[in-house]
A and B are shown apart, each in its own frame.
Chain A
């Protein structure tokens, strides 16, 4: 009952806020750009308004990403269960949704708090935004109610709707849950993208021009939609993986360990599937930001925030290393996994080498003596690693290596039965080698051509990687379509404890990364609430120092992870009571 109450809180608050916005004179829409007036910025109990909104918004987004990601793959796994008639999939899909139930309440609660904070601490900004987006927010509130209904039917009706046509009806409810959830996300994205790249309003006065679609469909809306959609799947997988790791470590029985090992493996697989296309989606968003505003683009990647991108690179690398390590250790579950030991060492070497290139900064932190030796903060050799040509090549090779890890894992313990297996392996090897050569050659070529062409080269690089992944998958599927059944499958539960810490590393790195990049995305607006339309005239209208921002993001990550552990603990307690 508590959950129902808190989930209803958000749309209720939203409607109240809309009423306030429509019935008060904010002084926002004037003949010149909308301005904040005296009293536009408030503070409660001396708490810094910016930090309060920052931390609550980020926590809301952490939970939102999790609860939007989980139903996507829960739906897919349930569908697989129906098709294969394997009840284990159904049970796992149900457990995924069960974990996210409490998180739904947290999402709604933090969304409500965020709205209260915006209305009370930033009334002028909120009033202006609500006047522009009023109708969108009504649809948003309505969708939220539909989503809640779909969620409760999906979760609580799982047992009652487990057979016959009712099962398909249940699956349809899951689809409805995903459709409404994704729609909610894209509507909320339109507010965030409007703040960065406003459209559909008069650039001179900020007045609404009458076409709401033009406001929603801004230059950054779709890149943001795609990036968040893919990231939510990866993030949902990472958090569920951490849950499985937690349960694996605390499981007392062999069956329990086996179940949570399988769950962790599946969650990691989902995180990988989301992770592989994520750099490309992020790259598209960054490119569009640069195309929209040189100022925001330069601030993002070449200016002060470039240093946050170094941390981002390190965290992305940590995720790649964690994901691969988990897969490599997982080879020990299956008899025959030991034959890949040498391959693992080479893959580790390749990953680390690419990783070093991936995070090498363009301009380096140096002591005075080092600068004197090198003649400046630019390193004559490492400087080449600092540009996108090198970084794109490195990340594509990292993606291909991760895919190779998955391929080896999928093959272990099986024997290809296709008559053309030998030729198939030769073609797969050739595809990997040719793909890697093409990616590196395009990267090197990037140094010889103008920046416009160089940026465009990322497209064939990505296409090469995706082509290799698709073609190898198809060939591999053909080779192992009817595997030798005589061989033993994975021995679930036979995983060393250290592998579970890799799952924690992935979840924490993802969370930290989201916090940092969320800050950067918002921070590049600099002194604007709404870029070029509404100025931030508060005392906080400055870019925080990197260390300060990193501390806030780290604190936020810590608090979120503490809440996640609390949710896991609640789940454990609920299960104990049930048993």
Chain B
């Protein structure tokens, strides 16, 4: 028996929804947030619609039942039922979406705040266009000195940073439960420090949460203003350690 196109498409859409939920929630233990799931399902429905209406024969299998429901005399009773049921259904969905809740409003968070072109710290101005890690050149020139600097950076990290950013730099330190949003940066993640130049990290560490730019505000970063607690050298060295430990390389441009 041939299954009608409309039923087939509904089954495919349901299977896609169920499959995604099962895969992410049950198998991977990381459920997909509703905002993403809505986008996914919207485009899955569009894709199924496209596939099933690309030729006239299957298009008729999709549109035919709707046309018959709307215009066929023999479907008068069903049509009336549908028209009675739809308005309260729409009302219920609208109510569910718009009713006030006790949840905090959803916020868009910028992944990386944009650095300024220059900033003040340690009594001088740093130009972000030209700023470089003074210890980076040791990596090739004087490897022993470089290792020494990395080790000093390690000490700085485990004395100051690991409480939030974690023993293994994975962003799960002891204090992490105290501030859920945003969670401390996971330095090991592929999209974190590997995407950034060392000057960015220097600025971000030096000015902390209060020094974040107005653009993209309000920020909720509890990152301390480290220029008040660390020296310029210590910040550069801890940056060396972050890259060294995670295996990432600082972003550079070959110009």
Report, nearest first, the 7 A-B pairs whose CB atoms are least far apart: A376-B183, A450-B249, A352-B47, A302-B112, A299-B114, A348-B51, A328-B54
Q: How many whole Å from B176's CB to the nearest CB in chain A? A: 8
A-B contact pairs, 19 of them (CB 8 A): A290-B253, A291-B253, A294-B128, A302-B110, A302-B195, A324-B50, A331-B54, A331-B55, A349-B47, A352-B43, A355-B47, A356-B44, A365-B36, A365-B108, A375-B172, A375-B180, A379-B30, A383-B191, A386-B191
In the complex, which residues of chain A have a beta carbon less than 8 angstroms from the beta carbon of B215? 299, 303-304, 526, 543
In whole angstroms, what is the CA distance A374 to B59 when docked?
A: 41
A321 touches B183 (CB 8 A): no
A302 touches B111 (CB 8 A): yes
In the complex, which residues of chain B have a beta carbon less than 8 angstroms from the beta carbon of A331? 54-55
Q: Indicate if B34 sits at the interface (CB-CB under 8 A).
A: yes
- Binary CB contact string for chain A from 374 to 410 against chain B (1 if under 8 A, 0 otherwise): 1111111111101101000000000000000000000
Given A303-B215, A344-B54, A496-B56, residue A295 in contact with residue B191 (CB < 8 A): no
Q: Indicate if A31 sits at the interface (CB-CB under 8 A).
A: no
Q: Indicate if B140 sits at the interface (CB-CB under 8 A).
A: no
In whole angstroms, what is the CA distance A377 to B33 when docked?
A: 10
Please give 9 more A-B residue pairs, beta carbons under 8 A apart, in addition to A304-B110, A365-B35, A366-B35: A295-B116, A303-B114, A304-B215, A317-B43, A321-B50, A329-B54, A387-B190, A387-B191, A543-B215
Given A367-B34, A381-B30, residue A362 in contact with residue B111 (CB < 8 A): yes
Partner of A384, one of B180, B181, B190: B190
B216 touches A303 (CB 8 A): yes
Residue in B closest to A545 when the chains form the complex, CB atoms: B108
Chain B contact residue count (CB 8 A cutoff): 67
A365 touches B106 (CB 8 A): yes
Given A362-B191, A363-B109, residue A294 in contact with residue B183 (CB < 8 A): no
Partner of A450, one of B31, B47, B50, B194: B194
Q: Indicate if B187 sits at the interface (CB-CB under 8 A).
A: no
B194 touches A451 (CB 8 A): yes
In the complex, which residues of chain B have a beta carbon less than 8 angstroms from the beta carbon of A377? 109, 181-183
Task: From B103, B109, B254, name the one whose CB has the most chain A CB atoms within 10 angstroms.
Answer: B109
B117 touches A295 (CB 8 A): yes
Q: Indicate if B28 sits at the interface (CB-CB under 8 A).
A: yes
A364 touches B36 (CB 8 A): yes
In the complex, which residues of chain B have a beta carbon less than 8 angstroms from the beta carbon of A498? 53, 59
B39 touches A359 (CB 8 A): yes
Q: How many whole Å from A259's CB to the nearest CB in chain B? A: 22
B195 touches A381 (CB 8 A): no
Q: Indicate if A417 sits at the interface (CB-CB under 8 A).
A: no
Q: How many whole Å from A109's CB to the nearest CB in chain B? A: 34
Q: Indicate if A282 sits at the interface (CB-CB under 8 A).
A: no
B46 touches A321 (CB 8 A): yes
In the complex, which residues of chain A have a beta carbon less than 8 angstroms from the beta carbon of B36? 360-361, 364-365, 379, 382
In whole angstroms, what is the CA distance A379 to B139 when docked?
A: 34
In whole angstroms, what is the CA distance A101 to B43 when docked?
A: 37
Q: How many whole Å from A294's CB to the nearest CB in chain B? A: 6
Q: Indicate if B227 sits at the interface (CB-CB under 8 A).
A: no
In the complex, which residues of chain A have a beta carbon less than 8 angstroms from the beta carbon of B34? 367, 370
B11-59 contacts to A, CB under 8 A, are 24, 28, 30-36, 39-40, 43-44, 46-48, 50-51, 53-59
B111 touches A364 (CB 8 A): no
In whole angstroms, what is the CA distance A365 to B43 when docked?
A: 18
In the complex, which residues of chain B have a beta carbon less than 8 angstroms from the beta carbon of A299? 114, 215
B181 touches A356 (CB 8 A): no
Q: How many whole Å from A370's CB to the nearest CB in chain B? A: 5
Q: Indicate if A156 sits at the interface (CB-CB under 8 A).
A: no
- Binary CB contact string for chain B from 112 to 137 against chain A (1 if under 8 A, 0 otherwise): 11111100000000001100000000
A278-311 contacts to B, CB under 8 A, are 290-291, 293-296, 298-299, 302-304, 306-307
Q: How many whole Å from A105's CB to the nearest CB in chain B? A: 37
A369 touches B55 (CB 8 A): no
Partner of B33, one of A324, A365, A546: A365
Residue in A closest to B116 when the chains form the complex, CB atoms: A295
Q: Indicate if B157 sits at the interface (CB-CB under 8 A).
A: no
In the complex, which residues of chain B have a beta carbon less than 8 angstroms from the beta carbon of A344? 51, 54-55
B31 touches A370 (CB 8 A): yes
Given A355-B43, A451-B248, residue A369 in contact with residue B31 (CB < 8 A): no
In the complex, which residues of chain B have a beta carbon less than 8 angstroms from the beta carbon of A447? 190
Q: Indicate if A575 sits at the interface (CB-CB under 8 A).
A: no
In whole angstroms, what is the CA distance A17 to B120 when docked?
A: 40
In whole angstroms, what is the CA distance A453 to B111 when docked?
A: 21
Q: Indicate if A371 sits at the interface (CB-CB under 8 A).
A: yes
B181 touches A451 (CB 8 A): no
Q: Indicate if A102 sits at the interface (CB-CB under 8 A).
A: no
Q: How many whole Å from B32's CB to the nearest CB in chain A? A: 7
Q: Indicate if A490 sits at the interface (CB-CB under 8 A).
A: no
In the complex, which residues of chain A have a beta carbon less than 8 angstroms from the beta carbon of B32? 379, 382
In whole angstroms, what is the CA distance A332 to B112 when docked?
A: 48
In the complex, which residues of chain B have a beta carbon less than 8 angstroms from the beta carbon of A352? 43-44, 46-47
B47 touches A348 (CB 8 A): yes
In the complex, which residues of chain A have a beta carbon less than 8 angstroms from the beta carbon of B197? 294
B54 touches A341 (CB 8 A): yes
In the complex, which residues of chain A have a beta carbon less than 8 angstroms from the beta carbon of B56? 332, 496
In whole angstroms, what is the CA distance A329 to B50 when docked?
A: 9
In the complex, which residues of chain B have a beta carbon less than 8 angstroms from the beta carbon of A290? 253
Given A337-B55, A381-B24, residue A294 in contact with residue B129 (CB < 8 A): yes
In the complex, which residues of chain B have a beta carbon less than 8 angstroms from the beta carbon of A386? 191
In whole angstroms, what is the CA distance A207 to B249 when docked?
A: 38
Q: How many whole Å from B161's CB to the nearest CB in chain A? A: 17
In the complex, which residues of chain B have a beta carbon less than 8 angstroms from the beta carbon of A387? 190-191, 195
Residue in B closest to A325 when the chains form the complex, CB atoms: B50
Q: Indicate if B199 sits at the interface (CB-CB under 8 A).
A: yes
Q: Indicate if A86 sits at the interface (CB-CB under 8 A).
A: no
Q: Indicate if B159 sits at the interface (CB-CB under 8 A).
A: no
A378 touches B189 (CB 8 A): yes
A294 touches B200 (CB 8 A): yes
Q: How many whole Å from A218's CB to the nearest CB in chain B? A: 14
In whole angstroms, what is the CA distance A383 to B47 when docked?
A: 24
In the complex, which residues of chain B have a beta carbon less than 8 angstroms from the beta carbon of A298? 112-115, 196, 200
Q: Indicate if B251 sits at the interface (CB-CB under 8 A).
A: yes
Residue in A closest to B23 when the chains form the complex, CB atoms: A381
In the complex, which residues of chain A have a beta carbon less than 8 angstroms from the beta carbon of B171? 376
Q: Indicate if A532 sits at the interface (CB-CB under 8 A).
A: yes
Partner of A303, one of B57, B58, B112: B112
In whole angstroms, what is the CA distance A338 to B46 when docked?
A: 21
Q: Indicate if B255 sits at the interface (CB-CB under 8 A).
A: yes
In the complex, which residues of chain B have a beta carbon less than 8 angstroms from the beta carbon of A337? 55
In the complex, which residues of chain B have a beta carbon less than 8 angstroms from the beta carbon of A380? 28, 30
Q: Indicate if B214 sits at the interface (CB-CB under 8 A).
A: yes
B78-111 contacts to A, CB under 8 A, are 103-104, 106, 108-111
In the complex, which residues of chain B have a beta carbon less than 8 angstroms from the beta carbon of A314? 39
Task: From B34, B50, B186, B214, name the one whose CB has the most chain A CB atoms within 10 angstroms.
Answer: B50
A37-68 contacts to B, CB under 8 A, are none
- Binary CB contact string for chain B from 199 to 222 against chain A (1 if under 8 A, 0 otherwise): 110000000000000111000000
B47 touches A452 (CB 8 A): no
B194 touches A294 (CB 8 A): no
In whole angstroms, what is the CA distance A453 to B181 when docked?
A: 31
Q: How many whole Å from A369's CB to the nearest CB in chain B? A: 7
In the complex, which residues of chain B have a beta carbon less than 8 angstroms from the beta carbon of A371? 180-181
